[in-house]
Structure 1
Amino acid sequence: MLSVGQAINAIEYDPVWYYALRSRSPKILFDKWYRFERYAHSTNRVRIEEKSDCSAVFTRYGINGNEPSTPENLLICGLMIALLEAIGCQNLECYMQDNEGNWLKIREDLKFVLPEGTNASAFDIVDTGCWRISWQAFILYQTNSEDFQGEFNFELPPIRPPKNRGKVRKIVQYIANDISRVWKVEDVALEMGYSIRSLQRLLTTSNLNFSKLIRLVRIQSACKMLSREKNSLTAIAFCLGFSDSAHFSRDFKASMGLSPSAYRKSLCL
């Protein structure tokens, strides 16, 4: 079951996992995981306690009286490991606790191992609902999957003065590269070398504000994603950072004059 979780690297394009793999740090990945669980109304979830920049403890728990099963715990553990390694966590190791509270290593050198001195029944003596994952360093790695956003030519509103246009387009592309992230103005400013004040001033003088910019990227990204029949409306709404499908539909219709479903049908005419 741990190995099955590694299949994230082999599945064909799926928007949810594509954007998970676009995460620029483990913390951003964890934030997306929390959003995914809430969005999917998961009855079994993961509590993530970041111990340092290079380690975290994961605890599985149920809500409404549910109790996560061992196979499910192992599957989620394997999937989390695969995601962390895929985005750039180097020399990752994973541990689970035995009945006496000792941490037993189950992952090193890109493969799963049985704890020393145990056999195939090892997981009968460990708590599969709690794991510690650590890594030596994080080196950002962008997946070799098809670049879904690519150099998508976003249509910008009239921007004056013209010298701001290139700067705004660069910001738009940066946000679009990971639109599923819940962006804050301070995140964009820090990562693109602006102060918050200077970024807000750039947008204001360009007849924009931060929320308007995010909406522009979301709606134009939605138009592109709706052109793919495999993308469900729920998946698109999640990947674009909307709180729910209803919010996505309202924003899309307000901007485009059509519901997402009607827009998709119009592409086939």
Structure 2
Amino acid sequence: MQDFASAAMVRLLVRAMRAQGLDPPPPGLDGLQGSHVPLVYKRSVVEAVLHQGGLGTLLQLAQRVDLLAGDPVHRALLGATCVPELLTRWQRLERYVHSRHQVSILASAPGTLALHHHARPGVLETPLPTESLAVLGVLVGASRALGERGLRVEIGAPEAAGHRVNLRIGVPATAPTELHAQLAPLAAQGQMGHWTLRWEVHTDEGKAPVAPALEPQPATHLCDALPWPPLAHQLARHVLQDPAAQHTVDALAQHTGLARRSLQRALTERSLSCRHIVTEARARLAAQWLLDSPHGLAEIGFACGFADQPHFTREFARHVGLTPARYRQAFAGVIASSGG
């Protein structure tokens, strides 16, 4: 898979290898700023991790999601406030890039998710054990970044008679060599894609985890110059705080404290709608990403909350007047030259 999600994963592993004192294969980080990475290089990075540290090191390195801070994918995933919402965002990412593999929820209960990383219907190639382990590492690292307490992960199918690996996240880490010895049998048995995540359930007296502060700070001012009423500006700033969230009419009404019909009526009186405000905010943020960053169109579209690449292209052109590619081509060079 040569999409922006794979490129972000490879960037994460390369950065984590360097932070750990390991040697990533050339071309190294400087050659991985784009949205696509050759499959052969992706494999060489994984092989280098396995050669220098084994499966345990791969799982630990993949948890370093903090090393992707500033990337659109990092902002989109870490905008979640709980593990179930994180899974929803991850599944949207899989759909956006048309991933051959997916994470499905087999069972859920308060504080527990049973997950399976497997091939999509119609795809013959099952995920490699290393691919499943890398995805698990990212999900565990992101869950930990969300502040979930008592985070644990069990690797291996619940019904399997063989052993399962039980890890408690956030306590002194198991030595990579010991962890490799525990994981190797699961890889041989094809059980690496079966996971159960557990975390402490928050009571009414406790406080739910707060999404981490993301850098750079969201550009919540991007719609301020529009001749909209205060209510519309309030909604736009809310969307710009976390464009990847599911900003439904009901969710927006809850944010404003208005009933759904009252919100719609107030906007209709000014020839506006929730959909128009949400899309305008997302398109303006996407325009900023297109001019100010080297990230690819698909990655920006995902991070800004669009359903897929055609949806991004269509809605961006409707609100901005140019497709994302033409917009970047027309203005990115002008902005760069004027900035020196």
TM-score in terms of structure 1 length: 0.86
RMSD: 2.4
Number of equivalences:
261
Q: Which residue of 1 aligns with 2:130?
A: 71
2:166 partner amino acid? K
Q: Which residue of 1 aligns with 2:18?
A: none
Q: Which residue of 2 aligns with 1:152?
A: 221
Q: Which residue of 2 aligns with 1:183?
A: 247
Q: Which residue of 1 aligns with 2:97?
A: 40
Q: Note if 1:121 corresponds to 2:178.
A: no
User: Does the C-alpha gap of structure 1 residues 112 and 190 become closer, same or farther in structure 2, counting only changes over 3 Å?
Assistant: farther
The answer on whether the counterparts of 2:146 and 2:211 sit within 8 Å (CA) in structure 1 is yes
After TM superposition, the structure 1 = structure 2 runs for residues 6-85 of structure 1, keeping only pairs within 5 Å, are 6-63=63-120, 64-85=123-144
Q: Deviations over 1:241-263 (max 9, x none)?
A: 22332332222222222222332
Distance (Å, rounded) in 2 between the aligned partners of 1:243 and 1:100:
40
Distance (Å, rounded) in 1 between the aligned partners of 2:280 and 2:87:
26
The answer on whether the counterparts of 1:95 and 1:104 sit within 8 Å (CA) in structure 2 is yes
Distance (Å, rounded) in 2 between the aligned partners of 1:112 and 1:130:
21
Distance (Å, rounded) in 2 between the aligned partners of 1:120 and 1:244:
37
Q: Which residue of 2 aligns with 1:134?
A: 198
Q: Deviations over 1:39-87 (max 9, x none)?
A: 2121122112452232101111113111222221211111111111112
After TM superposition, the structure 1 = structure 2 runs for residues 167-246 of structure 1, keeping only pairs within 5 Å, are 167-246=231-310
Q: Deviations over 1:192-223 (max 9, x none)?
A: 43322222223223331111111211121122
Note the residue ranges of structure 2 that are not aligned, 5 or more in a row. Answer: 1-57, 203-207, 335-340
Q: Which residue of 2 aligns with 1:266?
A: 331
Note the residue ranges of structure 1 that are not aligned, 5 or more in a row. Answer: 160-164
User: Does the C-alpha gap of structure 1 residues 97 and 205 become closer, same or farther in structure 2, counting only changes over 3 Å?
Assistant: same
Q: How far did 1:5 drift?
A: 1.3
User: Does the C-alpha gap of structure 1 residues 200 and 53 become closer, same or farther in structure 2, counting only changes over 3 Å?
Assistant: farther
Helix, strand or coil for the counterpart of 1:89? coil
User: Does the C-alpha gap of structure 1 residues 20 and 125 become closer, same or farther in structure 2, counting only changes over 3 Å?
Assistant: same
**Aligned partner of 2:169 among 108, 121, 132:** 108
Q: How far did 1:177 drift?
A: 1.2
Q: How far did 1:119 drift?
A: 7.0
Q: In terms of mean alpha carbon deviation, does 135-144 or 36-45 score higher?
A: 135-144
The answer on whether the counterparts of 2:147 and 2:209 sit within 8 Å (CA) in structure 1 is yes
User: Does the C-alpha gap of structure 1 residues 153 and 69 become closer, same or farther in structure 2, counting only changes over 3 Å?
Assistant: closer
The answer on whether the counterparts of 1:28 and 1:181 sit within 8 Å (CA) in structure 2 is no
User: Does the C-alpha gap of structure 1 residues 202 and 69 become closer, same or farther in structure 2, counting only changes over 3 Å?
Assistant: same
User: Does the C-alpha gap of structure 1 residues 91 and 192 become closer, same or farther in structure 2, counting only changes over 3 Å?
Assistant: farther
Helix, strand or coil for the counterpart of 1:131? strand
Larger helix proportion of the pair: 2
TM-score in terms of structure 2 length: 0.69
Larger strand proportion of the pair: 1
Q: Deviations over 1:85-139 (max 9, x none)?
A: 112322211112374166542233345448xxx8742123443211111111463
1:18 partner amino acid? R
Q: Note if 1:87 corresponds to 2:146.
A: yes
The answer on whether the counterparts of 2:112 and 2:199 sit within 8 Å (CA) in structure 1 is yes
